[in-house]
Amino acid sequence: MEAVNEASLREQLLDRRHRLEGIISEVGKAADLVRLLKEVDSALERMDTRAFGTCEVCKETVDDDFLLTNPLIQYCLCRLTPEQQRALENDLELASRIQWALLPKQDLRAGGWEVHYRYQPAGIVSGDICDVVVPEEEEKPLFFLLGDVSGKGVAASFLMARLNAMFRSLIDTGLPVPQLVERANRLFGEGTTSTHYVTLVCGRADEAGGVEICNAGHCPPLLLTHDEVATVEATGFPVGLFSSGPFSVHRVKLSAGDTLFLYTDGLTEGRDSADSEFGRDRLSELLRRCRGLSPRALAASCLSELASFQDGAARTDDLTIMVLRRTL
């Protein structure tokens, strides 16, 4: 487990211990309260002896997602019976189907824009966020969202679904992009543990080719024009990292044939067998060569180049690409 997560969990455990001691002093030593206090003390002791996060049965490392959800846990999935493991697998498969159902329609066309995306979870479920909201009225702007929840697996996928629904609801209120992200940041922080945050890009594209981009600590989007590949740097901190804070937007104007390329770090941080990163420079050079391709072909070229670079090396992170092309 990362040191920053363990430090945060230690604070949570100490706070839980303080609260339990206060309740016990008021109501007496009820059996359940005493048991909980012993479990908290045991977790703190495992931290002190560097045994925290190790399964007491098989001695393998417990998944960080499980520890973040329940820091008192002492076992991994090895204790499950075959029937329980099959039930868990069925639940995960259902969660995966639900997550795929949340994705937008593929190859959307609206208001002079064409959008194509690729969504590749590293496991059964993903912590990446990918959404496009097409207005019912043609003259209204199109909204797009791409992000990456800290961590992986089930916990990250739950937060992905929650944030996705939150943004869809906020978009309906008509808030400007900066206020939309500010509101989401506050709501997300109020209902999420302090160990989780989200890097994301939220944008608004109008029928005249204007785009407002709020980049909350995410990988810089790349703007492809006829003569260059430019980056759009961050305009704020990741969502959930701080309870409040201003977010601003970067405004660009796209002409016919220009493209906005969004991605999660599963692309640029993909590694080969020698542990070398694919990297942003390699990506920029590829996009410079292929910027005339359609959104679908451009995304396919990126994934093909990454697969060739990795040459069979295992992928360890979720990967999402979104390509927005101006068609008018």
Residues 188-212, mean pLDDT to the nearest whole number: 86
Which has the closest alpha carbon to 324: 305, 296, 288?
Answer: 296
9-to-13, 35, 212, 213 alpha-carbon distances in Å: 6, 19, 37, 34
The C-alpha atoms of residue 222 and residue 228 are separated, in whole angstroms, by: 10
How high is the pLDDT of residue 2?
Answer: 60
- Report pLDDT digits (tens) over 150-169: 877 777 888 899 899 999 99
How far apart, in whole angstroms, are the C-alpha atoms of residue 324 and residue 28? 62
pLDDT value of residue 326:
97
- pLDDT value of position 279: 96
pLDDT of residue 15: 77
pTM: 0.78
Mean pLDDT of 191-214: 87
Spell out the domains of the chain, with CATH numbers in brackets: 3-79 (1.20.120.910), 104-326 (3.60.40.10)
Q: What is the mean pLDDT of residues 53-61?
A: 81
**In the prediction, which pLDDT does 269 show?**
93
Q: Is 23 a residue whose pLDDT tops 80? A: no
Q: What percent of the chain has pLDDT over 70?
A: 93
* pLDDT score for 26: 67
Chain length of the chain = 328
117 vs 188 pLDDT, higher one: 117
Residue 139 is predicted with a pLDDT of: 78
User: Could you read off the pLDDT of 220-275 as tens digits, one per residue?
Assistant: 999 999 889 999 888 888 998 887 778 999 999 999 999 999 999 999 999 998 98
